[in-house]
Amino acid sequence: MKIHDIALNKAIAILHSLGCQFAIIDSDGNQHGDLVIAAERQRSSSQYPRGEPTKFVSGYLSTIKTGQVVEIPFEKYGGVKLQSWVSSYMYRTFGRDSYTSHINESTGFVEVLKIT
């Protein structure tokens, strides 16, 4: 509609007169202004099927009690990735500062101690 073009041109004129830098993409996909719009980041596809990390970790940690240590084998995942999943699970399930974990390279396990 013509009214949209009039309103857009008026807004652009105001921004220019104020010395503003801006980037506007109109309904037709045209860009106005002098700022560069960054492309959206594409999320990389997961290496594992959806839910597999949570299912694997929860199998070991769902019944953990305060003061208990659980050892989770690296298996095909590796220590760093597994520890990250453990941290996510423990934080979501039991809250901040409720656990500590350690990658034991010599045994091939991530050790998890539930503190509270």
Concatenated DSSP letters of the chain = -HHHHHHHHHHHHHHHHTT---EEE-TTS-EEESPPPPPPPPPPPPSS-TTHHHHHHHHHHTT--TT-EEEEE-TTT-HHHHHHHHHHHHHHHH-TTSEEEEEETTTTEEEEEE--
Residues 15 and 60 placed together within one structural domain of the fold: no
Asked if the structure places residue 72 within a domain, the reply is: yes
pLDDT band at 104 (very low <50, low <70, confident <90, very high): very high
- Tally of domains in the chain: 2
**Rounded distance between C-alpha atoms, residue 51 and residue 71, angstroms:** 21
Structural domain boundaries, residue 63:
52-114
- Clarify whether residues 56 and 12 are in a common domain: no
The answer to the question of residue 45 being in a domain is no
pLDDT band per the 50, 70, 90 thresholds, residue 67: very high
- Cβ–Cβ < 8 Å for 70, 62: no
Domain membership flag for residue 39 = no
What is the pTM for the complete model shown?
0.64
Percent of the chain with pLDDT over 90: 83
- Asked, for residue 46, whether it belongs to a domain, the answer is no
Q: What is the pLDDT of residue 97?
A: 93
- Give the tokens for residue 65: 């009690």
Examine the domain organization and report whether 58 and 103 are in the same domain: yes
**Res 42: pLDDT:** 82
Residue pLDDT, tens place only, 18-41: 999 999 999 888 999 989 888 888
Length of the chain: 116
| pLDDT band at residue 75 using 50, 70 and 90 as cut-offs | very high
CA 30 to chain centre: 31
Does some domain include residue 43? no
pLDDT of residue 112: 98
* 83 lies in some domain: yes
Pairing between β-strand 109-114 and β-strand 69-73 as defined by DSSP bridges? antiparallel
Note the pLDDT of residue 39.
81
Amino acid in the structure at residue 46: S
